[in-house]
Amino acid sequence: MRESTIMKIHYGTALAAVALVAVHILMRMTMGFADSLEYETVLANYKFIPYAIMLELILILLSVHGFNGLRVILLELKQGPAYEKAVSYGCLAAMFALIAYGSRTIIMTNMGMV
C-alpha cells in the first residue's frame, strides 16, 4: 500500500475516532462516573446493539490509528529492510490481535455468554 493511502487512513481514523469518542463521553455523562463503571452498566452497554457497534468502531479506529502511529515511530527509530518489514508486519499483526480480542469481548457479552 502506498504511504499516502496509509496516511489518509491515519488522518481519517483520527478524525472519526475523535467524533465517536466524543459521543461515547457524552453518553457516559448521562450518569455519574462511578455508576458508569458498574459491572451491570458495562454489560448493559455491550448488550445495547447500536452502542456496541459504536464501541466496536472506536476499537477498530483507535487500533488502526494507534498501531500505524507506533509503526511510524519505530521506522524513524532505526532503519534497515529486515527491521522495517518486521515492524510493519508486527504492527499489523498486533492491530488484528487487539481488534479480535476486543471484538470477542463485545460479541460474547452481547450474546449473553458472560
Partner 1 sequence: MAQVSSIADEQSSKSITLRIARFNPEKDTKKQFMEFTVPYEKWTTVLEAILDVKKHFDHSVAVRYSCRQATCGSCGMIINGKPRLACFTKISELDSNVITVEPMNNFPIIRDLAVKFERLFDTHHKIKPYLDRDDTELESDAKEFMQSPEELEQYIQFANCIKCGLCNSACPTMATDSSFVGPQALAQAYRYVADSRDKGKDSRLKIIDDSHGIWRCHFAGSCSQVCPKGVDPAMGIQLLRGYMLGFRS
CB of 92 to partner 1, least distance (A): 14
Q: Residue type for 95, please?
A: M
Nearest 5°: phi and psi at 30? -70, -15
Q: Which is nearer to partner 1, 58 or 71 (CB)?
A: 71
Its sign, for the CA torsion 49, 50, 53, 58, is: negative
CB of 4 to partner 1, least distance (A): 5
Q: Which is nearer to partner 1, 21 or 94 (CB)?
A: 94
CB of 99 to partner 1, least distance (A): 23
- DSSP assignment letter at 48: S
Q: Which is nearer to partner 1, 40 or 76 (CB)?
A: 76
Neighbours of 90 (CB within 10 A): 14
Contact set with partner 1 (CB under 8 A): 2-4, 7-8, 11, 72, 75-77, 79, 84
- Could you identify the residue written with the cell 455519574? 32
